[in-house]
Amino acid sequence: MKINRLTEIIVILLNKKLVTAKALADRFEVSTRTIYRDIETLSMSGVPVYMTKGKGGGISLIEEYSIDKTILSKEDKESLIIALQTLQATKYPEINSVVDKIGSIFGESNFANWIEIDFTEWGSNFNEDDKFTKIKNAILRRNTINFDYVNSFSSQTNRTVEPMKLMYKSKTWYLYGFCKLKDDFRIFRISRMKNLVVKEDIFSRKIIEEAYLDDSKIIKEDTVTLRLRFKEKMLYRVFDDFNNDLITKNEDNTYDVIAEFPIGEWIYGYILSFGDSVEVLEPKFIRDNVINRLKEMFKMYSL
């Protein structure tokens, strides 16, 4: 429908400073003449859209223009609610006030009451001493940061980092940045960062962005591929934790899972959380480590 195309054109122009008529025509699979008529319609409707000719020209909006709330459909509002509630569930600071403000803009004080997302049972107080907000501001202002860090092998070091990007993965927040100690890019779990200080020195954003685009420079966590066999009574957790394509049902009603995990001490806690309902089939070194831990636990409890 034409009204949907006009709405999407406005959204595209809000997200981009300049768009050519041909690019819009290709996107909507219409002629450039149709796009010109659409632009004329928008202009006559009071939308401050204008066109410039020649090399480097195109269609754009005046910088001060902002979208009116009425342009959002009921489905758009619902999608926005889900996005905000998901961000709220990650414990992103100051998001509660944003949810309230959006509700007042829509004229609905309880607009988000129909959905609730909660990750609290998996989380921790990652934002102690307001470090998340400090990191966010350091990224935006290009300040280096210094902090004490404990890695997955319980090794404690002091790091000076040029922060680039906050990432939310596996139910927790991480920082991606250039580590001066390792002279390379690293990913840091925010809950393991202590005594964080934002420094006054400025780093070059261009260098960071160019390196980030090169996947070979991104240091990923070491991983191991596990083959696990679960008893049927743990099927609910198997379905909670793994995709269907990773699960194979056996004739004796057990279930095999082959999946990749980041290496770390936590992996043994995860395996042992299934009690006697899981067996590590491969690799042997993980299986042996589980056996040794069980022996040590038996010694401790048999005293």
- The DSSP line for 231-293 is -GGGHHHHHHHS-GGGEEE-TTS-EEEEEEEE-STHHHHHHHTTGGGEEEEE-HHHHHHHHHH
Local confidence band at 64 (pLDDT 50, 70, 90 cut-offs): low
- The model carries a pTM of 0.48
**Which range, 21-25, 169-173, 234-238, 255-259, is most confident?**
255-259
Tell me what pLDDT residue 267 has.
87
Rounded mean pLDDT, 26-48: 85
**Is pLDDT at 128 greater than 50 in this prediction?**
yes
Residue 232 in tokens? 């049927």
**Which range, 26-40, 78-92, 128-142, 247-261, is most confident?**
247-261
Q: Which residue has the tokens 């995990």?
A: 261
**Is pLDDT at 220 greater than 80 in this prediction?**
no
Local confidence band at 257 (pLDDT 50, 70, 90 cut-offs): very high
Kindly state the helix (H) or strand (E) to which residue 43 belongs, with its residue range.
helix 32-44
**Which range, 110-114, 127-131, 182-186, is most confident?**
182-186
Give the Cα separation of 133 and 192 in Å (integer). 15
pLDDT above 70 as % of the chain: 70
Local confidence band at 116 (pLDDT 50, 70, 90 cut-offs): low
**Is pLDDT at 286 greater than 50 in this prediction?**
yes
**Which range, 82-86, 187-191, 249-253, is most confident?**
249-253
**Which range, 198-207, 221-230, 261-270, 285-294, is most confident?**
285-294
Tell me what pLDDT residue 224 has.
86
**Which range, 83-87, 109-113, 129-133, 204-208, is most confident?**
129-133
**Is pLDDT at 198 greater than 70 in this prediction?**
yes
pLDDT above 90 as % of the chain: 24
Tell me what pLDDT residue 85 has.
65
For residue 13, with 0-12 CB atoms within 10 Å meaning exposed, 13-18 middle and 19 or more buried, which class applies? buried
Give the Cα separation of 279 and 259 in Å (integer). 14
Lowest mean pLDDT among 29-38, 39-48, 219-228: 219-228
**Is pLDDT at 118 greater than 70 in this prediction?**
no
Lowest mean pLDDT among 1-10, 28-37, 60-69, 198-207: 60-69
Local confidence band at 95 (pLDDT 50, 70, 90 cut-offs): low
Q: CA geometry: angle at 289 spanning 269 and 285, to 5°?
A: 120
